[in-house]
Amino acid sequence: MKTSNFLLFLAIYGILTGCMMLFNAGGSLINYGVQPIDHYHISIIQYVGISNITMGFLSFLLRNEQSKVSQAILLTTSITTVGSFLKGCYDVYIVNLPSNTFFWIDMSFRLLVGLVCLFYITQNQKK
């Protein structure tokens, strides 16, 4: 898969998850097992949704740009996704927050996306 196609995939993924967080914040919080759901939690997840949508649009708009731009997008996406996986593991194993199946599927997918981003960074550096 070409880097531009993967960046298109990242754009779609970011926009979809961001829209779910922004427009269905309560449902997103229920999937992660957050109880009780209050306006503070909803507000926070909507802010995160806006940043996901923005990153998705950046990936979409800059997917065909020069190598340095695509590497910067891949690097920031990798840091975000792998960092959120590590933070999730910390929350579950160290802080003892509850988790559910959806949480682990989402965290595993984020880790996979982050590792694939690192793979594309190394492939682009070799060229």
**3 vs 75 pLDDT, higher one:** 75
Tell me how many domains the chain contains. 1
Is the model's pLDDT at 124 over the cut of 80? no
Question: Mean of the pLDDT values across residues 28-46?
Answer: 87
pLDDT classification of 55: cutoffs 50, 70, 90: very high
* pLDDT tens, residue by residue, 64-105: 887 888 899 999 999 999 999 999 999 999 998 888 888 899
Range of weakest confidence among 7-11, 19-23, 31-35, 110-114: 31-35
According to the model, what pLDDT value does residue 35 have? 80
Residue pair 61/73 in contact (Cβ under 8 Å)? The answer is: no
- Is it true that the peptide bond before 98 is cis, omega within 30 degrees of 0? no
The pLDDT value given to residue 75? 93
Give residue 80's domain range.
3-126
- Give 105-111 contacts, CB < 8 A, sequence gap 24+: 106/32, 110/81, 110/82, 110/84, 110/85, 111/81, 111/82, 111/85
Between residues 32 and 94, the one the model is more confident about = 94
